[in-house]
Amino acid sequence: MNTRVDPNKLQDFMGKAVGDIGAGMSAALVLIGDRLGLYKALAAHGPLTPTELATHTHTHERYIREWLNNQAAGGYVDYDVVAKKYSLSPEQACALADETSPCFIGGAFQIIAAVMKAEPRMQENFRTGGGLDWCDHHHDLFVGTERFFRPNYAGNLVAHWIPSLDGVVPKLVAGASVADVGCGLGTSTILMAEAYPHSRFWGFDFHADSIDLARSRAHAAGVADRVTFETAKSTDYPDAGGKPFDFVTHFDCLHDMGDPTGAARHVLKTLASDGTWMIVEPFAGDAPEDNFNPVGRVYYAASTMICVPASIAHHGPALGAQAGESTIRKVALDGGFTRFRRATQTPFNLVLEARP
């Protein structure tokens, strides 16, 4: 062994790495649990034996038994040694079985699946400097991203984020026109439309399949009368039927764009002179070392595999998911905005306000 290696530090590192290897190896199993409804069945009917869980979910007992032992070893399910039954604690059920909980993590594993599929292409990009357009990812990325962000938006957007902005709530209550740019599957647009029935909403995204899904979700949510989803770029979406928007939003997408400053300019062009632009970005400090923590680790991984190549695919500046407030401030000011501030934050998001 290299004499410079400290065995205690090596042991610490290997302990951490084994934890990561276990998590990585188990990611496909969490995805299977999510897709086959194994967590939901455990939450609804547990404690269960492997045979009982297999019966409830129309699956094969031998696979279920092995899956349950992996999950118990990782702390994702509980095991009763005496009864030989498996169950979810209330906390595990929140995170794994309840799509409406603010802690639901199922979407993250769908994103991981899409990222693994992008690995060969990204390996090539590391050599060539090429990009990977958002639209060229596996479908799991679009649906997984929506499921990953939705709990956070449902818990924060209407209750905390919009009220943190200067004077926006009264306008939305009275009836305002709103553009949600880079809206993806439209969750944020629909949440706002549900909360402010007198306002009119437009959701724009350049990914046509996401816009199709957003439209059907608006119908399902009963808000299609006040929400229009259209395929459009952040630099060329139309105005609010001949009038400027009162409120424009970008949720977790400005840093992905090929021309963030052009997007900022287009917001200014389509915004009323007393309007507000809300930019929601992943939480980050300005210096890389500010983000060397578990949340920053997740975001830098997503940034490397999704956000940076998405911008490079459009010859963009590749701001990255950990761009931080100073970088976004520069984008807004370069785009012509004169006022900019951090309105609020959560452990996962910065909520930034720009005014003309």
In this structure, the dihedral spanned by the alpha carbons of residues 162, 163, 164 and 166, taken in order and rounded to 10 degrees, is 90
| Helix boundaries (H) for 58-98 | 61-73, 90-96
Which C-beta is closer to ligand SAM: that of 29 or that of 279? 279
Q: Does 299 bind ligand SAM (CB under 6 A)?
A: no
CB of 159 to ligand SAM, least distance (A): 17
The 3-state DSSP composition of the chain as helix, strand, coil percent (nearest 5) reads 55, 15, 30
Task: Name, in order, each residue with C-beta under 8 angstroms of 267's C-beta and a sequence gap of 6 or more.
Answer: 181, 248, 250, 277, 335, 354
CA angle 328, 104, 342 (to 5 degrees): 20
User: How many Cβ atoms from other residues are within 10 Å of residue 39's Cβ?
Assistant: 23
Q: Does 143 bind ligand SAM (CB under 6 A)?
A: no
Tell which one of 107, 258, 309, 320 touches ligand SAM (CB under 6 A): 258
Tell which one of 64, 165, 183, 319 touches ligand SAM (CB under 6 A): 183
Which residue spans within 200-348 are E strands per DSSP?
200-205, 227-231, 245-251, 271-282, 339-345
Which C-beta is closer to ligand SAM: that of 98 or that of 252? 252
CB of 34 to ligand SAM, least distance (A): 18
Q: Does 149 bind ligand SAM (CB under 6 A)?
A: yes
Distances, alpha carbon 20 to alpha carbons 13, 17, 74, 296, in Å:
11, 5, 11, 16
Q: Does 199 bind ligand SAM (CB under 6 A)?
A: no
* Count of chain residues binding ligand SAM (CB under 6 A): 21
CB 98 within 8 A of CB 107: no
Cα 122 to chain centroid distance, Å, stands at 20
User: How many Cβ atoms from other residues are within 10 Å of residue 220's Cβ?
Assistant: 10
Tell which one of 98, 246, 256, 281 touches ligand SAM (CB under 6 A): 256
Q: Does 309 bind ligand SAM (CB under 6 A)?
A: no
Cα 251 to chain centroid distance, Å, stands at 9
Which C-beta is closer to ligand SAM: that of 57 or that of 210? 210
Which C-beta is closer to ligand SAM: that of 240 or that of 257? 257
Q: Does 145 bind ligand SAM (CB under 6 A)?
A: yes
* String of contacts with ligand SAM for each residue 210-249, x by CB under 6 A: x----------------------xx---------------
Tell which one of 98, 140, 205, 325 touches ligand SAM (CB under 6 A): 205
Task: Name, in order, each residue with C-beta under 8 angstroms of 18's C-beta and a sequence gap of 6 or more.
Answer: none
Q: Does 253 bind ligand SAM (CB under 6 A)?
A: yes
Which C-beta is closer to ligand SAM: that of 234 or that of 270? 234
* String of contacts with ligand SAM for each residue 18-47, x by CB under 6 A: ------------------------------
Tell which one of 67, 206, 229, 337 touches ligand SAM (CB under 6 A): 206
CA nearest neighbour of 279 among 300, 298, 258, 253: 253
Peptide bond before residue 309 is cis, with ω within 30 degrees of 0:
no
| DSSP run (H or E) holding 121 | helix 106-128
Identity of the amino acid at 112: I
Tell which one of 34, 52, 146, 353 touches ligand SAM (CB under 6 A): 146
CB of 184 to ligand SAM, least distance (A): 3
Q: Does 200 bind ligand SAM (CB under 6 A)?
A: no
CB of 85 to ligand SAM, least distance (A): 38
Tell which one of 33, 46, 182, 282 touches ligand SAM (CB under 6 A): 182
Q: Is 93 helix (H, G, I), strand (E, B) or coil?
A: helix
Q: Which residues bind ligand SAM (CB under 6 A)?
A: 134, 145-146, 149, 182-184, 187-188, 205-207, 210, 233-234, 251-253, 256-258
